[in-house]
Amino acid sequence: MERTYLDAGGRAPVHPAAREAYLAALDEGWADPGRLHAEGRRARLLLDAARESLAEALGARPQEVHLTPSHTASLHLAVTGAARARRRTGRRVVTSAIERGALLAAARAVDDEATTVPVDRSGRVDLEAWRAAVTPDVAVAALQHANGEVGTVQPIAEAHEAARRAGVPLLVDAGASIGHAPVEPAWDLLAADPPDWGAPAGVGVLAVRTRVRMSHGGPEDEDPWAPGGVSVPAALAAAAALRAVLADAREPDPRRALVDQIRQRVLDQVPDVDVAGDPAHRLPHVLTFSCLYVDGEALVTELDRRGFAVGSGSACTSSSLQPSHVLAAMGLLTQGNVRIALPREVDAGAVARFCDELPAAVAGVRAMVEATGR
């Protein structure tokens, strides 16, 4: 059976440029970059080159870019490090209600009564509530650039201005955006996720403006951002993939029209369905819809049987298939949801086949639910 991968959010197929850079670095950058011998110095040069390339792409200085073990680690380090450095100013943490689970967990670890600012039905943060919440006694505020589940882009510039006026650093989670949509430089800390743009797993990226104070916890280590060091091949592959993706970027992104096609056909052909997210101000490749009277796990399994790999539940907790806190915060149906994230090289014919198969898949799962009386 022909397989179609439609779950590229957070873990996209490895980009050819990333594969080439990774394999080359296995030959040239395998040594410990902290050593003084020729092999170690060569690995250090490759690591520094990767950091410089990433910094250029993110609009940061090389010394502001830090490599971490993963995107989750970046979010944890950003929240806890900024909050620890500002503990004399304030201990409160403010986030939107639809941030990643990893960020919300870090916020609660710092402030067990962390403020979550509500969003509207499109997933856009309530700016008035945000401005009211971000006061000078806040240690750190966090707002994603765009949601990786529903695609809605947030008003980052306005949120950053409110934080700046209060003297509060703003952490922007751009894990779902970098490589897919422009991210304005309205941030104090920026987390990016290399596997989302086609790099192999094994490295995360956290940029911290030099004006932001950070304080690391835990045992002392030569590299507090990645205790024990990071993988040089993974770092080089991340930089190579991002450089290639940005060089190949097309406007408009052809995936946007494909997502529009899926959205319209779902609305036209699948009864009792919620389609989530802003239809215009969104990422070009992401879509989530929820079907009434359908179990998400059963629908994902049925679509997989038909040759389509899709996600369900919250994008950040997809392995557990827990109901989506993002959809719940938006006031939408949380059960029976399907999350689409189109890879860059997706075939338009495969998307059309998915749209053709979907109504029957939903009807089949609904029929099974009726047959079992659940």
Percent of the chain past pLDDT 70, that is, above it, reads: 97
Q: What is the CATH number of domain 16-248?
A: 3.40.640.10
Q: Within the chain, how many helices (H) and strands (E) appear? A: 11, 12
Render pLDDT for 162-199 as a digit per residue (tens, 0 to 9).
999 999 999 999 999 999 999 999 999 999 999 999 99
Among 103, 93, 123, 112, CA closest to 326: 123
Tell me the C-alpha distance between 372 and 221, whole Å. 57
Q: Where in the chain is the domain with CATH 3.40.640.10?
A: 16-248
Please count the other Cβ atoms lying within 10 Å of the Cβ belonging to residue 28. Answer: 16
Region for residue 53 given its phi and psi (left: phi exceeds 0; alpha: psi -120 to 50; beta: otherwise): alpha
Give the tokens for residue 258: 């494909």
Average pLDDT, the chain: 94
- Chain center to CA of 196: 7
Measured torsion, CA atoms of residues 187, 146, 137, 81, in degrees rounded to the nearest 10: -70
Catalytic residues: 316
Q: Record the pTM.
A: 0.94
Q: Which long-range contacts (CB under 8 A, 24 or more apart) does 124-133 make?
A: 124/152, 124/154, 124/155, 124/278, 124/281, 125/96, 125/154, 125/155, 125/159, 127/155, 127/158, 127/159, 127/162, 130/94, 130/96, 130/159, 130/162, 131/162, 133/94
Tell me the C-alpha distance between 199 and 328, whole Å. 31
Give me the phi and psi of 369, to 5 degrees please. Answer: -65, -45
Q: What is the CATH number of domain 4-12+251-373?
A: 3.90.1150.10
Place of tokens 């008035």: 128
The pLDDT of residue 255: 96
For 190, the enclosing helix (H) or strand (E) is strand 189-192
Tell me the C-alpha distance between 80 and 74, whole Å. 10
Q: Where in the chain is the domain with CATH 3.90.1150.10?
A: 4-12+251-373
The residues of the chain scoring below 70 in pLDDT are: 314-322, 371-374
